[in-house]
């Protein structure tokens, strides 16, 4: 038993009690003396989630072809300098595992970009949507509505739009759907008034492998086929 806390989700907060875990082991990864909040299984739909208290300073590898998830030590300095011919590297900023790519352009609009591996869809905040409309000098076509649900409860209905081009460092994505929603998480990160987006699993699954290196603060995206266009920028359709 531990103290009462408020667990902040993407949509709302949920009161919870902390419990103490002596040892958490997953393969070779061992974490000791953790304090974790408890949420109803009806919200989580699983036994639990691994958070940044476990994953921070580690490397998380999503291999979509092999259908595996690997948690490993971060890359060493020299190995991090090597980049595969079918791989794009994105440098990030941010403390406590909140990795943010600042060099991101969405249809020419500069935005802050995060990866949310727990989200099924990619989400734009209203500030990015408004900036896209100002740049295009016309209303962006709404393709439909999408409901978003958080593990702490609550739901919000967002508008689905399509953007032609997203550039993050040397990575490029074309024809990407985004759900526009005023999520609480944007307020928590101080980004409610600045253009920002969350890359969800719908974007990550377009790659063969995605690596989030919390230790080196970098993202690596490997495309399914080792075919690089003439320019340095990787294009994904």
Contact between residue 97 and residue 175 where contact means Cβ atoms under 8 Å apart: no
pLDDT for res 44: 84
pLDDT for res 136: 87
DSSP 202: H
Q: Give the pLDDT confidence of 141-162 residue by residue, as tens digits.
A: 889 999 998 888 888 999 999 9
Strand order in the sheet with 13-26: 4-8, 13-26, 29-37
Contact between residue 112 and residue 100 where contact means Cβ atoms under 8 Å apart: yes
pLDDT for res 235: 41
Distance, CA of 37 to chain centre: 22
Residues with Cβ within 8 Å of residue 112, at least 6 apart in sequence: 100, 101, 102, 104, 191, 194, 195, 196, 197
SS (H, E, C) 30-96: EEEEEEEECCCHHHHCCCCCCCHHHHCCCEEEEECCCCEEEEECCCCHHHHCCCCCCEEEEECECCC
Q: What per-residue string of b and e applies to 124-143 under the rule 16 or more CB within 10 Å gives b?
A: bbbbbbebbeeeeeeebeee
pLDDT for res 203: 93
From first to last of its 237 residues, the chain has per-residue pLDDT tens of 678 999 988 888 899 999 999 999 988 888 999 999 999 888 888 898 888 888 888 899 999 999 999 998 887 755 555 666 788 889 888 876 678 887 899 999 999 999 888 888 999 999 999 999 999 877 778 899 999 988 888 889 999 999 999 999 878 899 999 999 999 888 888 888 999 999 999 999 999 999 999 888 899 999 876 444 444 444 433
pLDDT for res 230: 42
Q: What per-residue string of b and e applies to 42-61 under the rule 16 or more CB within 10 Å gives b?
A: eeeeeeeebeeebbeebbbb
How far apart CA 66 and CA 140 sit, in angstroms, is 38
């Amino acid at each position: 038993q531990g103290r009462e806390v408020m667990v902040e989700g993407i949509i709302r907060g949920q009161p919870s009690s902390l419990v103490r875990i002596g040892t958490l082991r997953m393969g070779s990864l061992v974490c000791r003396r953790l304090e974790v909040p408890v949420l109803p299984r009806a919200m989580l739909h699983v036994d639990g989630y691994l958070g940044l208290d476990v994953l921070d300073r580690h490397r998380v590898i999503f291999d979509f072809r092999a259908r595996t998830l690997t948690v490993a030590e971060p890359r060493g300095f020299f190995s991090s300098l090597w980049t595969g011919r079918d791989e794009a590297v994105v440098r990030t900023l941010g403390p406590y595992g909140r990795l943010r790519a600042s060099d991101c352009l969405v249809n020419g609009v500069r935005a802050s970009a995060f990866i949310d591996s727990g989200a099924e869809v990619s989400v734009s905040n209203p500030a990015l949507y408004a900036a896209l409309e100002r740049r295009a000098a016309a209303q962006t076509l709404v393709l439909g509505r999408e409901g978003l649900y958080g593990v702490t409860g609550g739901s919000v209905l967002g508008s689905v739009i399509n953007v032609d081009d997203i550039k993050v460092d040397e990575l490029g994505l074309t024809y990407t759907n985004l759900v526009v929603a005023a999520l609480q998480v944007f307020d928590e990160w101080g980004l409610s008034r600045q253009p920002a987006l969350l890359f969800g699993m719908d974007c990550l699954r377009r790659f063969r492998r995605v690596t989030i290196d919390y230790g080196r603060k970098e993202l690596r995206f490997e495309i399914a086929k080792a075919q690089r266009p003439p320019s340095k920028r990787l294009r994904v359709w």
